[in-house]
């Protein structure tokens, strides 16, 4: 897949966010600033794609103020070896698609 097709030439900074990955957590909250700005554009699924063409689909639950990843987060943990936790950087490109641009485990090792 061509990287240029994934990333828009111009996008607002509020489309870029980091998420902590805690494999033992039951729910993971989307950042509230991002969610407030884009909740009207989000469905009940998040499609994560990286530059190696790995894809993960996550289910989200939406409220008025907060949104949580409800399930399938373990797929993300397993693909990127984040069994001890870590941090990911996502860019929302539209239509429920997010590009995963950085993955680091808790030791700050790039994955």
CA distance 74 to 79: 9
Domain boundaries, the chain: 15-105
Q: By C-alpha distance, which of 64, 67, 61, 81 is closest to 21?
A: 81
User: What global pTM score does this model have?
Assistant: 0.84
Summarize pLDDT for 74-98 with one digit per residue, the tens: 999 999 999 999 999 999 999 999 9
Q: Where are the alpha helices (DSSP H) in the chain?
A: 3-6, 32-38, 73-80
Architecture of domain 15-105: Beta Barrel (2.40)
pLDDT < 50 regions, the chain: 1-5, 7, 9
């Amino acid at each position: 897949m061509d990287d240029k097709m994934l990333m828009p030439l111009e996008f607002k900074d509020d489309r870029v966010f980091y998420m902590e990955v805690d494999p033992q957590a039951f729910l993971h909250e989307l950042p509230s600033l991002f969610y407030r700005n884009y909740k009207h554009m989000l469905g009940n699924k998040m499609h994560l794609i990286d530059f190696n063409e790995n894809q993960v689909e996550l289910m989200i639950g939406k409220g008025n103020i907060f949104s949580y990843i409800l399930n399938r987060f373990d797929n993300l943990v397993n693909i990127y070896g984040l069994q001890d936790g870590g941090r990911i950087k996502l860019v929302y490109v539209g239509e429920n698609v997010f590009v995963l641009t950085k993955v680091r485990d808790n030791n700050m090792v790039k994955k």
